[in-house]
Amino acid sequence: MFVAGGNGDGKSSLLQAVRFALTGAMPRGVTRVADRNLLLTEGASKGYVQVEVDGNPLRRTVSTAKLTGDAPESPHLDLCLEASQFARLDDKDRRKLLFAIAGVKANGEAVSEQMKAQGIRADIIQDLLPRLRAGFEAAAAHARDKATEARGAWRAVSGENYGSTKAEGWAATVEVEEPDQAAIDEHAAAIADLRARVAPLHAAIAKVEAMLPPDKLAELQAQSDGQGKAEGDLAMAQQVYDDAAAAVAKLQVQLQPGASGGVPCPCCGKSVRIDGQRLVAATESDGTDVQKVRNDLAAAKVRAHDANTQLQVARRALACAQAAASTLANLPEAPTDEELRAPDLLADVNELLQQHERAHRALLDARAQHERAKHRTEQAARHHRDAAAWKLAEENLAPEGIPSILLARALDPVNATLAAAASVAGWRPAAVTRDITLTYGGRPYALVSESEQWRADAMFAAAIAELAGARILMLDRFDVLSPLARGDALDWMDHLVAEGHVDTVIVAGTLKERPDLGEGVDVVWLGAAA
């Protein structure tokens, strides 16, 4: 449908009325309910707009915007009814629209699939998914922080400044050569063998040390050989002592009461005395010199004491001889020549043992150093992998990463549709760049002429109508095109309908007279009758 007429004849009002009926959008910048009566014909108290969609009437009351009938289900219909509106959208709304009409999803599932496709680790994806709710920028910032954290961990392990090239093949170094396990086992076996030899050598040394020296053996032998003489000396000393003791006892008896003379006989009363084992009559000549007996007793006691001293000496001499004989009889077996060499052998074994122990400890220490170095190398490699993995995630979450990939999926069908339209119309191509800016013929939309902007708006609106399924395109100010360029525009619109890209195109323009557009185009002339 082509709506034509002169200036002020109501062409734009007609198009805006259709837009109001279909979407409820108030025309002419009216926003307040109280101002809606300004849209009515002077003198009218109420009004409505009625259109027919697929044979079904649709009426919307001006004062209340209440709709009677079923409105078309197209969330982007308004952009197809006012072509310049797409260029006025901000980047966020324009991006959202492009994703919607291209059927490209930017939800967590879609982003997760993209991250998998880019080789991002599953654990990192799971970490990032909750943060994607706050947007790509927040998720990228988190990935950047985690990459920084991993690089810091690498520095802590390596003690060096991080560099991706350096970290790729970094390995902890050890000054000593890595030991061979066979060498370690060889020293361990030698140590075990030498330690097993130490105990017998100590036993041999103890046996040697227990051996008596020759002079001690000679002394014991001499003592043992004198055992017979000691026994004779003891018997003699015992006899001397016994005699001396008997003499003392005899003298002591003489000093007892009655011993110096007779005593009355209990039977006859006569004086009697003891003579050995007999009781005989006492005479005056039997009287004893007491003082002399006492002197003899004192001398006898001295002799008895000396005899007892000699007796004890003889007893000790015999005991020593017997002990020497017993010691000689119980001496251990004499050490062998090898046992006699045990002290020297032990010194050699201990020296060799210390050598093997030092070598074994050195090898174990070297192995421990290599194990620690290996552990550090593995830790550093893990931190480097984490840093690289988080860096990869950060790069893919940046605007030129996955958002760009998803945007390309949204832009490709739009730009392809725009390119096809330009080819049919013979116009320069309109396009949406990766940064969501609009161009016409490769130049920024804002810098091209008014007629070029009209062409770009027309192609943008047509692409939205086709991709969003709105099936209608409405264009005002057709007269901005030069007369020579209008034919190409009409041919393009006819192509849109003929090829089924849209069902309806309504275009309005200021013309001096009713145009003759041939069959297939309904012309509505709002100007004065020709």
Domain boundaries, the chain: 2-103+403-525, 212-331
What is the CA angle 309-310-316, rounded to 5? 95
Backbone angles phi, psi at 9, to 5 degrees: -85, -5
Q: Which residues contact 74 (CB under 8 A, 6 or more apart)?
A: 80, 468, 469, 470, 471
* Distance between CA atoms of residues 293 and 300, nearest Å: 10
pLDDT of amino acid 13: 84
The letter for the amino acid at 347 is A
Dihedral angle of Cα 138, 141, 147, 153, to the nearest 10 degrees:
-100
pLDDT of amino acid 285: 44
| Tokens standing for residue 237 | 């000393």
Greater model confidence, 108 or 154:
154
In this structure, the number of other CB atoms found within 10 A of the CB of residue 515 comes to: 15
Q: What is the topology classification, in CATH, of domain 2-103+403-525?
A: Rossmann fold (3.40.50)
Contacts 24+ apart (CB under 8 A), 480-484: 480/450, 480/451, 480/454, 481/451, 481/454, 481/455, 482/451
135: left (phi over 0), alpha (psi -120 to 50) or beta: left
- Give the pLDDT confidence of 215-271 residue by residue, as tens digits: 766 776 777 788 888 888 888 989 988 998 998 899 888 887 655 555 567 777 676
- Give the pLDDT confidence of 162-171 residue by residue, as tens digits: 998 999 989 9
pLDDT of amino acid 210: 61
pLDDT of amino acid 522: 87
Residue 420: is its pLDDT beyond 80? yes
| Tokens standing for residue 437 | 């800016």
Report the DSSP beta bridge partners of residue 432. 438
Residue 173: is its pLDDT beyond 80? yes
* Distance between CA atoms of residues 100 and 467, nearest Å: 9
The letter for the amino acid at 249 is A
Least confident of 74-88, 239-253, 328-342, 506-520: 328-342
Coil, strand, or helix at residue 153? helix
Least confident of 147-156, 172-181, 504-513: 172-181
pLDDT of amino acid 110: 82
* Distance between CA atoms of residues 420 and 138, nearest Å: 38
Would you tell me the crossing angle of helices 483-498 and 402-425 to the nearest 10 degrees? 110
Given a contact cutoff of 8 angstroms between Cβ atoms, the answer to whether 451 and 139 are in contact is no
Q: Strand ranges (DSSP E) for 392-497? A: 430-432, 438-440, 443-444, 472-475
* Distance between CA atoms of residues 443 and 433, nearest Å: 11
- Percent residues over pLDDT 90 in the chain: 35
Task: Provide the CB-side half-sphere exposure for 53 (13 A, CA).
Answer: 18
* Distance between CA atoms of residues 147 and 261, nearest Å: 137
Confidence band (pLDDT; 50, 70, 90) for 284?
very low
pLDDT of amino acid 257: 63
The residue with tokens 């001096």 is 512
How many residues are present in the chain?
Answer: 530
CA 199 to chain centre: 49
Task: Provide the CB-side half-sphere exposure for 330 (13 A, CA).
Answer: 6
Least confident of 103-117, 304-318, 334-348: 334-348
* Distance between CA atoms of residues 518 and 399, nearest Å: 50
What is the CA angle 382-387-388, rounded to 5? 95
Mean pLDDT of the chain: 85
Coil, strand, or helix at residue 444? strand
Average pLDDT for 332-338: 67
255: left (phi over 0), alpha (psi -120 to 50) or beta: alpha
Report the DSSP beta bridge partners of residue 474. 506
